[in-house]
């Protein structure tokens, strides 16, 4: 019934919406020759591809680094827009995506310039308009075509159109990542062109690729001052060059993050994660408010998402976050406010297969509010809502969701208490490419909350472990105690004006040579006990740099020498020598098995007698532990062989 109503609404709009932004109804018999506006440097001038006054969000930009999303992937995961900005979604995009919050499906889509239009359906509903000078404009993901295309869809006969003519309606047909939107694209001689031009330092990187030409500003000057159709920088024609990049990168540095931690973000004035892989995807301008300590992310109109690859495992995991709940949630029709969501099919209503989300909704008895840990497996039958009534007051609250696909278990905890649990559910095997914060999908309705200290683990935590997370006080500025000079560094950085080109790592002011940027390294601390400063210096393409440091305290485990002296056939005298530990009294563990399963810790002593177990090999394993918890490797020592020397007797014949 819901889909039927949408179709009826679209048919009604086809009959009533004016065909041109300037007004007037379209006579479907009115064909006329294309008369593009002359322009010597570009050949065409682009007008607004939707009615003036309709709200739109610039959802995704043309990627000047690798604009061939339809054909290949170079493994590069960073986007560079026409303003040389890099912290936006998404890699390899060969056009611009626009989302219409008032009518995601059904907003009129207009021809941006005069030409001959061809409706196509090979990748969903789309229109290609051929213009003079070798130009084409492309409009994709339409929900419906303009009525005068009837009988000409996927045919060879084009339809002449003028700038501002209705050609269809926004939608989600074909391959759509996230919310319904208009994918707008410009080509010249079959190659991609960014109609916003290029305003970064140096030449446009786009022509370095076979599928791309140098970008040009193609928008009409009549659009100046509206939306983002104003070229950056002053000049007589409004086509100036943006100021030189003087903004340093934003980076984080984590030393030896817990092995079970996949992702962590603290939102202290920026979206860069402290632990994790990939780059944040930002739509709009993020806003920050006072957090639990430092700052928190305010989930308003702007959107923020992180890649799920290497950051979220559908097989098992725990997600922990703090949320500042408002007194009044933003009103919208879906009656759901999402703290986080990851979905492989966010537009596949009503099933939404491959979904994992935490939300507040008004779906309880008599539309009462509740908190819901929502999952959907491969089909509608696997959908499960683990819910509890919302009795929380405005302010900061801790939420944790945990799941294990093997047992089908799910748990929801609020403020350190497990409030709901179930098992035997069919959980999703995949959850899509990104995890959204504060909304369900790109351009979706905002939750109106603030989020702080988001952490994702690779295993399902018990109720007791979640309680520990709730009780933990943030101490990210405290020194980190390490017990080995070999450390694992998690290095994450973004630059507003482009990619990170190099990283210098160092200890105690001694920086190594620059090396290519990655998000993790293995590094060596000088093997000297005490305090050390670990630092990472990130450098962008314009030479701007920023340095992030962390303080570590190295406490090496005690070293150990073991000697055995046979004491008769049943035992041996053990002599231990310990060196290198100044951290209080030592404990020792001694046994004839390397796992020490039957051995307890006891105070260090020297020497002592060891009686061999009759059935075990005569190998002794010993390890030491200092007061700081540093434990030496287990050291095996075998009993010396007993040698008996006999005289050599040579007989005479």
Domain boundaries of the chain, sorted by first residue? 1-244, 267-471, 480-554, 559-638
The CA dihedral of 337, 340, 346, 351, to the nearest 10 degrees, is -70
Residue 497 reports pLDDT greater than 80 = no
Q: What is the DSSP string of 300-332?
A: SSSEEEEE-TTT--TTEEEEEEEEEE-SSPPP-
Mean of the pLDDT values across residues 564-570?
Answer: 87
| pLDDT of 237 | 41
Instruction: Specify the 3-state DSSP secondary structure of 469.
Output: helix
What is the C-alpha separation between 391 and 389, in angstroms, rounded? 6
More confident residue, 146 or 242: 146
| pLDDT of 113 | 95
| pLDDT of 609 | 92
Take residue 115 and report the two structure tokens written for it.
Answer: 């030409």
| pLDDT of 56 | 87
Write down the CATH superfamily of domain 480-554: Immunoglobulins (2.60.40.10)
* In this structure, CATH architecture of domain 1-244: Distorted Sandwich (2.70)
Confidence of residue 427 (pLDDT cuts 50, 70, 90): very high
| pLDDT of 461 | 97
Inter-residue contact 206 to 84 (CB < 8 Å): no
- Phi, psi dihedrals of residue 460, rounded to the nearest 5°: -80, 120
Residue 28 reports pLDDT greater than 80 = no
Instruction: Specify the 3-state DSSP secondary structure of 403.
Output: strand
For the chain, percent of residues with pLDDT exceeding 70: 85
Take residue 245 and report the two structure tokens written for it.
Answer: 């990049």
| pLDDT of 39 | 37
- Average pLDDT score over the chain: 84
What is the C-alpha separation between 470 and 465, in angstroms, rounded? 9
Residue at token pair 């916003």: 196
CATH number 2.60.40.10 is the correct assignment for the domain at 559-638: yes
Note the pTM of the prediction, 2 decimals. 0.66
> What is the dihedral sign for C-alpha 384, 388, 392, 398?
negative
Distances (CA, A) of 125 to 117, 121, 131, 442: 13, 5, 20, 20
Span 584-635, pLDDT tens digits: 788 999 999 999 988 999 999 889 999 988 777 889 999 998 887 888 889 9
As a residue count, the chain comes to: 653
What is the C-alpha separation between 280 and 496, in angstroms, rounded? 12
The neighbouring-strand residues paired with 570 are none
What is the C-alpha separation between 271 and 637, in angstroms, rounded? 52
What is the C-alpha separation between 440 and 346, in angstroms, rounded? 7
The CATH number corresponding to 267-471 among 2.60.120.200, 2.40.40.20, 2.60.120.10, 3.40.50.1010 equals: 2.60.120.200
Take residue 644 and report the two structure tokens written for it.
Answer: 């008996």
A 10 A CB-CB count for 558 gives 20
Residue 38 reports pLDDT greater than 60 = no
Span 205-263, pLDDT tens digits: 888 777 888 888 999 988 887 777 887 764 334 344 556 678 899 999 999 999 999 99
What is the C-alpha separation between 334 and 331, in angstroms, rounded? 9
- The separation between the first and the last C-alpha atoms of the chain, rounded to the nearest angstrom, is 114
Inter-residue contact 564 to 538 (CB < 8 Å): no
Give the range with max mean pLDDT: 131-145, 413-427, 571-585: 413-427
Comparing C-alpha atoms, which of 414, 178, 184 is closest to residue 305?
A: 178
What is the C-alpha separation between 598 and 614, in angstroms, rounded? 15
Mean of the pLDDT values across residues 648-652?
Answer: 66
What is the C-alpha separation between 416 and 613, in angstroms, rounded? 48
Strands ordered across the beta sheet of 602-603: 602-603, 587-591, 619-625, 635-638
What is the C-alpha separation between 93 and 83, in angstroms, rounded? 15
Mean of the pLDDT values across residues 399-425?
Answer: 97
Q: Specify the range with the lowest mean pLDDT, choosing from 33-42, 94-103, 237-246.
A: 33-42
Domain 480-554 and domain 559-638, same fold? Reply is yes
| Composition of the chain by helix, strand, coil, percent to 5 | 5, 40, 55
Comparing C-alpha atoms, which of 324, 297, 299, 440 is closest to residue 376?
A: 440
Take residue 306 and report the two structure tokens written for it.
Answer: 């992180």
Mean of the pLDDT values across residues 353-375?
Answer: 96
Inter-residue contact 358 to 319 (CB < 8 Å): yes
């Amino acid at each position: 019934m819901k889909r039927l109503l949408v179709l009826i609404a679209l048919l009604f709009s086809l009959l009533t919406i004016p065909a041109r932004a300037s007004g007037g109804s379209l006579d479907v018999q009115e064909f006329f020759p294309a008369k593009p506006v002359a322009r010597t440097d570009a050949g065409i001038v682009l007008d607004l591809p939707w009615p003036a006054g309709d709200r739109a969000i610039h959802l995704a930009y043309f990627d000047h680094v690798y604009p061939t999303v339809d054909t290949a992937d170079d493994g590069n995961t960073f986007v560079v827009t026409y303003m040389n900005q890099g912290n936006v979604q998404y890699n390899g995009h060969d056009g611009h995506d626009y989302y219409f919050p008032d009518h995601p499906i059904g907003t009129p889509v207009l021809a941006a310039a005069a030409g001959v239009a061809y409706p196509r359906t090979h990748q969903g509903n789309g229109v290609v308009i051929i213009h003079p000078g070798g130009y084409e404009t492309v409009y994709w993901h339409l929900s419906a075509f303009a009525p005068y295309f009837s009988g000409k869809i996927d045919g060879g006969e084009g339809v002449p159109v003028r700038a501002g003519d209705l050609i269809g309606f926004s939608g989600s047909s074909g391959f759509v990542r996230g919310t319904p939107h208009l994918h707008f694209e410009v080509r010249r001689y079959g190659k991609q062109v960014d109609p916003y031009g290029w305003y970064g330092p140096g030449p446009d990187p786009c022509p370095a690729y076979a599928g791309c030409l140098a970008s040009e500003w193609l928008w009409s000057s009549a659009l100046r001052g509206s939306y983002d159709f104003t070229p950056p920088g002053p000049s007589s024609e409004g086509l100036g060059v943006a100021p030189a990049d003087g903004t340093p990168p934003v980076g984080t540095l984590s030393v030896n993050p817990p092995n079970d931690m996949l992702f962590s973000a603290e939102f202290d004035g920026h979206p860069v994660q402290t632990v994790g892989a990939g780059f944040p995807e930002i739509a709009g301008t993020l806003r920050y408010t006072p957090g639990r300590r430092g700052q928190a992310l305010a989930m308003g109109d702007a959107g923020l998402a992180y890649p799920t690859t290497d950051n979220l495992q559908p097989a098992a995991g725990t997600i922990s976050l703090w949320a500042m709940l408002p007194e009044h949630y933003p009103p919208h029709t879906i009656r759901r406010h999402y703290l986080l969501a990851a979905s492989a099919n966010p537009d596949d209503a009503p099933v939404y297969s491959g979904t994992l989300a935490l939300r507040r909704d008004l779906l309880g008895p008599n539309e009462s509010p509740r908190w819901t840990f929502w999952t959907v497996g491969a089909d509608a039958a696997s959908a499960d809502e683990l819910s509890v009534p919302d009795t929380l007051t405005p302010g900061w609250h801790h939420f944790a969701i945990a799941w294990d696909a093997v047992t089908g278990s799910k748990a929801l905890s609020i403020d350190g208490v497990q409030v709901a649990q179930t098992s035997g559910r069919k959980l999703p095997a995949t959850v899509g490419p990104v995890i959204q914060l504060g909304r369900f999908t790109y351009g979706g309705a905002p939750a109106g909350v603030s989020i702080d200290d988001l952490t994702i683990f690779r295993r399902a935590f018990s109720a007791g472990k979640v309680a520990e997370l709730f009780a933990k006080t943030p101490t990210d500025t405290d020194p980190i105690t390490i017990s080995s000079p070999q450390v694992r560094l998690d290095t994450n950085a973004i630059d507003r004006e482009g990619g990170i080109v190099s990283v210098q790592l160092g200890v105690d002011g001694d920086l190594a040579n620059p090396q290519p940027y990655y998000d993790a390294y293995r590094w060596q601390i000088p093997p000297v006990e005490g305090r050390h400063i670990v630092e990472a210096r990130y450098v962008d393409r314009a030479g701007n740099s920023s340095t992030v440091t962390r303080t570590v305290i190295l406490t090496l485990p005690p070293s150990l020498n073991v000697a055995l002296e046979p004491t008769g056939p049943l035992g041996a005298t053990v002599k231990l020598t310990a060196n290198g530990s100044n951290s209080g009294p030592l404990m020792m563990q001694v046994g004839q098995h390397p796992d020490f399963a039957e051995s307890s810790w006891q105070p260090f002593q020297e020497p002592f007698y060891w009686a061999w177990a009759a059935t075990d090999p005569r190998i002794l394993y010993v390890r030491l532990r200092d007061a700081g918890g540093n434990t030496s490797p287990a050291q095996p020592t075998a009993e010396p062989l007993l040698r008996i020397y006999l005289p050599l007797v040579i007989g005479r014949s």
